[in-house]
């Protein structure tokens, strides 16, 4: 019995290997696809590494107020009265500062010392500390500029209304001390690299597997495969395996290039990065299988793949445009793409260096996407066979 099972598994592995070998040979002859897979990523790396800028609204802000005076409340109200800052809440300990930043709950923590108001009215320097999530260099710079403008406005108010009568015309009561977490150099490429990896993976997985399966339909070889001893599972594994390996290799190359060119390092767990990438890749492959189930030509498969994967991933994932700045309806719509959740995972691992406790929900979302795409593709395939 054991020998029979081993023999059966051996035959299955041989069939899977034969399909994968056939797919690799076809890929070698397709120079256009090779160009897309291996050249286009470096074009994206240069483009997004040097040419993208952002604008920021609705910055999530938490406050650690040790002074608790009218002056600190007035300073906070001036920030939240505009569309640039949203008050997340007040923190009650220094430990909470690290927690809300590590978990990505806020982008900015404003810290008022105990002697803030006393120093203002005694002629001393009143310091205010801002802790900024510096993963996105442009966003962090914008936040710092907003805070500088707010501090200058508040300083002018105090100087004109209360301190001018004391004859201290050259006195500057507030000294802002910004500190940028996770990305102290404010290098925007470090923020873009995770999104770029996501785009490359979904491009490789979704489009490639969809075109590969639909190609068999166009050439009429899918009927030969259906009557062969090859099962549907073996066919899908054999076809997806080469593209999975290629996607992982390209992602590794981008990480290496990012390290050499822009100093991007993996601060978190490499094992978590690998497992998360496999889960995301599984979701992308299932999406490609679903597209191939409803497509009859490579042209249609490519157009549908670009429409449902690349376009939403570019516009709605937070890769280029901050989701917080989008209208509420569009923010809800961003949940249609798995890239949104994978980018959060990559930024947490690559830039923050945090563990699974910070992005376990994103892993669950990716698993749900995988199960949903697999269920729909299976349902459509069964329906097509019964027609």
173-183: per-residue pLDDT in tens?
A: 666 667 778 87
Q: Which span out of 11-15, 255-259, 276-280 was modeled with the highest average pLDDT?
A: 276-280
> pLDDT tens-digit profile of 20-30?
787 778 777 77
Per-residue pLDDT reduced to its tens digit, 210-249:
887 787 777 766 666 666 666 666 777 777 788 888 888 8
Which residues lie below 8 Å from residue 303, measured CB to CB, with a gap of 6+? none
Per DSSP, 268 falls in state S
Give the domain ranges of the chain: 18-51+188-386, 59-181
**Helix, strand and coil percent figures for the chain, each rounded to 5:** 70, 10, 20
Question: What is the pLDDT at residue 387?
Answer: 43
* Other C-beta atoms lying within 10 Å of the C-beta of residue 109: 25
- Between 316 and 112, the higher pLDDT residue: 112
Mean pLDDT of 136-153: 81
Q: What is the pLDDT of residues 77-102, one digit of tens each?
A: 888 888 788 999 999 888 899 899 88
Q: Beta strands of 68-147 (E only): which ranges?
A: 85-90, 108-112, 126-133
Of 339, 324, 331, the C-alpha closest to 104 is 324
Q: How confident is the model at residue 386 (pLDDT cuts 50, 70, 90)?
A: very low
pLDDT score of 7? 46
> Residue 261: what pLDDT?
76
Among the listed residues 209, 169, 387, the one whose alpha carbon sits nearest the alpha carbon of residue 295: 209
Residue 208: per-residue pLDDT: 80
Between 7 and 51, where is the model more confident? Answer: 51
pLDDT at 266 over 80: yes
Residue 183 and residue 263 in contact, taking contact as beta carbons nearer than 8 Å: no
pTM of the model: 0.71
Higher pLDDT pick, 310 / 381: 310
What is the structure's pLDDT at 239?
75
Show the CA angle centred on residue 342, arms to residues 307 and 188, nearest 5°.
Answer: 95
Three-state DSSP at 105 gives coil
| Residue 330 vs residue 45, higher pLDDT | 330
53 pLDDT tier (thresholds 50, 70, 90): low
Residue 323 scores a pLDDT above 90? no
Calculate what percentage of the chain has a pLDDT beyond 90: 7
Q: Decide: 131 and 108 in contact? Cβ < 8 Å.
A: yes
State the average pLDDT over residues 122-143: 82
pLDDT at 62 over 90: yes
337 φ, ψ to 5°? -115, 130
pLDDT (tens digit, 9 = 90+) per residue, 193-216? 888 888 878 877 888 888 877 877
Q: Can you tell me the distance from the alpha carbon of 349 to that of 344, in angstroms, rounded to the nearest whole number?
A: 9
Count CB atoms within 10 A of the CB of residue 250. Answer: 20
Q: Helix 298-305 and helix 208-219: axis angle, to 10°?
A: 160
pLDDT of 3 over the 80 cut: no
Closest Cα partner for 380 from 232, 241, 243, 281? 232
Nearest to 128 by CA among 186, 167, 76, 182: 76
Tokens 């290799």 sit at which residue?
Answer: 249
- Which residues lie below 8 Å from residue 168, measured CB to CB, with a gap of 6+? 123, 159
- Using CA atoms, how far apart are residues 157 and 184, in angstroms rounded to an integer? 31
The CATH class, in words, for 59-181 is: alpha beta
Give the pLDDT score at 361.
92
pLDDT per position as a tens digit, 152-191 = 778 777 776 665 555 555 555 666 667 778 877 666 677 7
- Specify the 3-state DSSP secondary structure of 19: helix
Query: What is the average pLDDT score of the chain?
Result: 79
**pLDDT, mean of residues 279-288:** 86
Residue 342: predicted pLDDT: 93
CA separation for the pair 150, 41 (Å, rounded): 41
pLDDT above 80 (res 50): no
The listed range with the strongest mean pLDDT (4-18, 267-281, 373-387) is 267-281
Mean pLDDT of 111-119: 88
Cβ pair 146, 84 in contact under 8 A: yes
For Cα atoms 187, 176, 131, give the angle at the middle one, nearest 5 degrees. 50
């Amino acid at each position: 019995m054991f020998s029979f099972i081993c023999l059966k598994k051996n035959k299955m592995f041989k069939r899977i290997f034969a399909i994968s070998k056939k797919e690799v040979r076809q890929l070698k002859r397709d120079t256009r696809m090779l160009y897309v897979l291996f050249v286009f990523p470096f074009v994206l790396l240069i483009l997004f590494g040097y040419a993208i800028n952002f604008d920021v609204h609705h910055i999530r802000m938490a406050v650690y107020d040790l002074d608790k005076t009218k002056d600190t409340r007035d300073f906070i109200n001036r920030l939240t009265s505009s569309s640039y800052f949203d008050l997340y809440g007040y923190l009650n300990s220094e430990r909470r500062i690290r927690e809300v930043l590590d978990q990505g709950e806020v982008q900015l923590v404003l810290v008022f010392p105990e002697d803030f108001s006393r120093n203002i009215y005694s002629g001393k320097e009143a310091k205010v500390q801002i802790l900024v999530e510096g993963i996105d260099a442009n966003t962090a710079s914008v936040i710092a500029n907003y805070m500088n403008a707010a501090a200058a406005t508040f300083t002018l108010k105090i100087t004109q209304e209360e301190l001018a009568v004391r004859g201290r015309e050259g006195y500057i009561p507030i000294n802002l001390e910004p500190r940028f977490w996770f990305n102290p150099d404010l290098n925007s490429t470090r923020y873009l690299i995770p999104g770029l990896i996501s785009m490359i993976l979904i491009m490789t997985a979704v489009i490639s597997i969809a075109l590969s399966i639909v190609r068999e339909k166009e050439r009429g070889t899918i009927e030969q495969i259906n009557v062969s001893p090859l099962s549907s599972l073996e066919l899908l594994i054999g076809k997806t395996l080469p593209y999975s390996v290629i996607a992982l290799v390209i992602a590794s190359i981008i990480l290496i290039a990012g390290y050499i060119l822009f100093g991007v390092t993996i601060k978190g767990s490499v094992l978590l990065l690998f497992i998360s990438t496999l889960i995301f890749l599984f979701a992308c492959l299932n999406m490609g299988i679903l597209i191939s189930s409803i497509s009859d030509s490579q042209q249609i498969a490519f157009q549908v793949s670009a429409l449902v994967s690349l376009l939403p991933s570019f516009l709605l994932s937070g890769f280029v445009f901050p989701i917080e700045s989008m209208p509420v309806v569009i923010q809800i719509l961003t949940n249609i793409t798995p890239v949104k959740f994978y980018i959060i995972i990559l930024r947490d691992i690559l830039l923050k260096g945090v563990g699974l406790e910070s992005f376990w929900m994103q892993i669950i979302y990716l698993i749900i996407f995988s199960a949903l795409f697999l269920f729909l593709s299976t349902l459509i395939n069964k329906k097509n066979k019964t027609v």
